Chains A and B, each alone.
Chain A
Amino acid sequence: MSGAARPPARTGGRDALVAAGLLLALWQGLHLYAGDAALASPAAALGALRQLAGTAAFWGHCAATAQAFAAALALSAAIGLALGLWLGLRRFAGEVAEPLLAGLYAIPKITLYPVILLVFGLGLGAKVAFGVIHGFVPIALFTLGAVKSLDPVLLRTARALRLSRAQTVRFVLAPAALPEIVAGLRVGFSLTLLGVLIGEMFASQAGLGFLIVNGTALHNVRLTTAVILTVVVLAVGANAALLWLDRRYVRRG
């Protein structure tokens, strides 16, 4: 990003508060415009959320989403990293596969949903698979890019030191490509979450995505708004935490 000096932390905090305030005002304004039947007010959504948090069913749905997401993220990361490393090291295979991966990234994968359902059946397997097909591509692309643009001197040094392939990956490639890989994991994290939630929106009887669609079907606007708020806060919070980790431990100095 920009190489400008970091703004003092206090302005950053104030900006975040102002932004949050503006978003709340926008929400309230939309609520006034659209009416109670379409969008609950922030206060009503918070009330509904407090009510929800008191029910065991809500936590069950949260756990279902968390379980599917954790499995999907682990698989996305494993597949994406392995594929990216392999394609990055094999120049020819990388050149063959990169546009295919980029094409896969840009197509509406949601259309593949029926196939996934037919293969995996309703439930956890389909949700996880849907998260994985969304999440592994950016991780693979970022890793591939990082490995490919690595300084060739590093690899030559590894060869001169007679490192084995595993050692090269462990001690040379992984540390050198880490910042890019972490950026890829952050994008993969978001897209995996998106995939899992969309999966829950059609073909699941559990999870936060199911709650949103169910609330819409039952015209329970307060429920829908409260669950969407939960998802947004969780997603933004996780993203902020990942960004912080990235800045604190990966891009030091």
Chain B
Amino acid sequence: MSRSAAVAAARLALLAGAVLALELLCRAGVIQPLTLIPPSAMAAALAGLLWSGELNADLIHTGGAVAASLALAVGLGLPLGVAVHGLPRLRRALDPLLAAYYAVPTFVFYPLLVAILGLNQAPLIVLGTAFGLPAMMMATLNGLDRVPPVLLRTARVHRLGRLDTLASIVLPSAAPFLFTGCKLALAYAVIGIIAGEFILADAGLGHAISFAYDGFENRTMYAVMLLVLGLATGLNLLLHLWETRLMRRRARA
């Protein structure tokens, strides 16, 4: 336990050192304020923005799109994964498509999506979903592959129906993989939606950053940037902690 504490302390020291070094370099004038403002100024600007409520609309816009994308990616990816797992012939045909999917830079489709669906949240949600769904599907397939055969035999011994087996044996057993899939779907939804807002949008946090950038409003830009990176990191960290706790409970059981 002391070793992991030392690792955590070293990691914290590294991060704090980096922030401090940045602060000093900015304050000393080595880095021009036109390029980068000191971290403390970013935090102060962010506090001001949050306090004034200027960002509320953008936060809701982006948060809603991320939530919808995550729900769609998981809600469609999970059943699709289960269905494809049950159809080996289809799966063999899909394998090369899935392998190639993440090689395609999905963002290049965004301008087309805007042209088809209009400049609103719909193309963002489609982009976020399209980015995360295959990851969820692959995670589901991966998890179902690793369900121990003995559990399935037990289910047959207990004469469980197909749906009962799925609900009370297969999905719980594959849970860690499903969790990884959800984590990826969330990360991808955030990346896709912020990127889409950055490229072309009329609201949202990504749009707020590019708008401030175009207007040379460095303080606002860095404040929103700090918010986005902080939110994304915080969400990932939270899921990571939850995952470790689940794993530990599973290992104990």
Contacts and interface: CB of A to CB of B under 8 A. Distances in A.
Interface of A: 1-2, 4, 7, 11-12, 15-16, 18-19, 30, 33-34, 37-39, 92, 95-97, 99-100, 102-103, 105-115, 117-119, 186-187, 189-190, 193-194, 197-198, 201-202, 209, 212-213, 215-216, 221, 224-225, 228, 231-232, 235-236, 238-240, 243
Contacts of B225: 111-112, 114-115
B236 A103 contact: yes
Contacts, number: 157
10 contacts: A11-B92, A15-B93, A33-B116, A107-B232, A108-B195, A115-B35, A197-B108, A231-B104, A240-B96, A240-B100
A232 B236 contact: no
Contacts of B107: 194, 197-198, 201
A34 B105 contact: no
A119 B35 CA distance: 7
B191 A213 contact: no
B145 to A, nearest CB: 6
Interface SS of chain B: helix
A37 B232 contact: no
A17 to B, nearest CB: 10
Nearest to B184: A106
Contacts of B187: 105-106
B221 A114 contact: yes
Contacts of A105: 187
Interface residues of B, number: 53
A interface majority secondary structure: helix
B99 A38 contact: no
B101 to A, nearest CB: 9
Contacts of A236: 100, 103-104
B247 interface: no
A108 B191 contact: yes
Nearest to A219: B115
A39 to B, nearest CB: 6
A189 to B, nearest CB: 8
Given A96-B7, A108-B191, A232-B104, A221 B115 contact: yes
A188 to B, nearest CB: 11
A111 B228 contact: yes
A86 B237 CA distance: 25
A107 B112 contact: no
Contacts of B236: 102-103, 106-107
B194 interface: yes
A111 B229 contact: yes
B108 A111 contact: no
Contact of B111 (A119, A190, A212): A212
B96 A114 contact: no
A235 B7 CA distance: 39
B208 to A, nearest CB: 10
Contact of B237 (A18, A103, A117): A103
B96 A12 contact: yes
A215 B112 CA distance: 10
Given A37-B115, A99-B240, A106-B236, A114 B209 contact: yes
Contacts of B103: 186, 189-190, 193, 235-236, 238-239
